[in-house]
Amino acid sequence: MPDGAPAHGAFPAAGRRSVSRYHAGRPASGSPLLEARSVSIEFGGIRALSDVSVRVEVGEAVGIVGPNGAGKTTLFNCLCGQYCPARGSVWFDGKPIDGLPSYRRARLGIARTFQRVEVFPEMTVLDHLLVAERARRGDGRLWKDLLNMSRVRRDELDRIEAVLGLVGLADMAATPVGALSLGHCRLVELGRALCLEPRLLMADEPSSGLDTGETAALADLFRRVQQEKGMAILLVEHDLDMVARVVDRAMVLDFGELVAEGRLDEVMADPLVRRAYLGRAG
């Protein structure tokens, strides 16, 4: 737990260079769900993130965009506990979570999907969700599951079937994940994250491998879980149409620095952002 970690709402504008800030229509409340302050990390002397601050309100959908190599996945890894930032602190639901391993952060209500799909080819779709469902309850039966000794209960099945219906995989419950397309594997990952009933769903490039129709359906799904379940969403995504459909507010990273934040159309019109994306000033 860091000394001198900030009180809520006390963060000054971060960064060595100025960040373009645009009002995003939704006023910041006094108690964010997730708050990261001045997170910095480097690899072999190269700064992957420099003083990046993030704030996600309860139930808010926030997009993180930026060119390849900007540090988006690294930021996710710092927020979820896969990486330990060299500097900065991360708070969730009013408490510092620095130093907590990923599984403890998941139990607090932070679930994520990965840019490179992380599934087990021989396990069925249902099994993937079952492991997540039992991890959410944390009832200590996981070791039995690994030994295949524990039967699926009716209430577990009901919850899993509801999530399978939500992500559109109801017909594939018994299919080994190795037989699925990349797009369907992404939906398995998303279903697994939803089984944890997170308060914050973090998705890293979820539309990769999906066609246009699947991407639109996915965007609708994110909106639904946000609106119906009150889930906050942090979305890293290169498909700007999808970002526009899902988020209330966007942040732009470039070379590990936050360069702009606000409404997506406003930040994308920012000359610094256009230069980062298009290689020229707009």
Closest CB 276 distance from ligand ADP, rounded Å: 11
By beta-carbon proximity to ligand ADP, the closer residue of 49 and 180 is: 49
Nearer to Mg ion, 64 or 219 (CB): 64
Closest Cα partner for 59 from 233, 193, 263, 194?
233
* Dihedral (Cα; 244, 183, 138, 234), 10-degree rounding: -20
Phi-psi region of 197 (alpha: psi -120 to 50; beta: other; left: phi over 0): left
The three-state secondary structure class of 224 is helix
How many contiguous H segments (helices) and E segments (strands) does the chain have?
Answer: 10, 11
Using CB distances below 5 to 8 A depending on partner kind, what does residue 33 bind out of ligand ADP, Mg ion, none? none
Does 71 bind ligand ADP (CB under 6 A)? Our answer is: yes
**Beta-carbon contacts of residue 133 (< 8 Å; ≥ 6 apart):** 156, 159, 160, 195
* Backbone phi, psi, residue 224, to 5°: -65, -45
Applying CB under 6 A, does 112 fall inside the site for ligand ADP?
Answer: no
Binding of ligand ADP at residue 36 (CB under 6 A)? Answer: no
Nearer to ligand ADP, 72 or 263 (CB): 72
In the complex, least distance from residue 31 CB atom to ligand ADP, rounded to whole angstroms? 28
d(CA 108, CA 93) in angstroms, rounded, equals: 9
Q: Which does 68 bind (CB under 5 to 8 A by kind): ligand ADP, Mg ion, none?
A: ligand ADP
By CB under 5 A, the residues from 48 to 107 that bind Mg ion are: 72-73
Q: Note whether 47 and 75 are within 8 A (CB).
A: no
In the set 48, 100, 135, 231, which binds ligand ADP (CB under 6 A)? 48
Minimum CB separation from ligand ADP for residue 263, in Å? 21
Query: Interface with Mg ion includes 208 (CB under 5 A)?
Result: no
Binds 105, which of Mg ion, ligand ADP, none (CB < 5 to 8 A, cut-off by type)? none
Q: Which two tokens stand for residue 131?
A: 């492991």
* Of 20, 28, 69, residue with least CA distance to 267: 20
Position 73 contacts ligand ADP (CB under 6 A): yes
Interface with Mg ion (CB under 5 A)? 72-73, 115
Interface with ligand ADP (CB under 6 A)? 43, 48, 66, 68-74
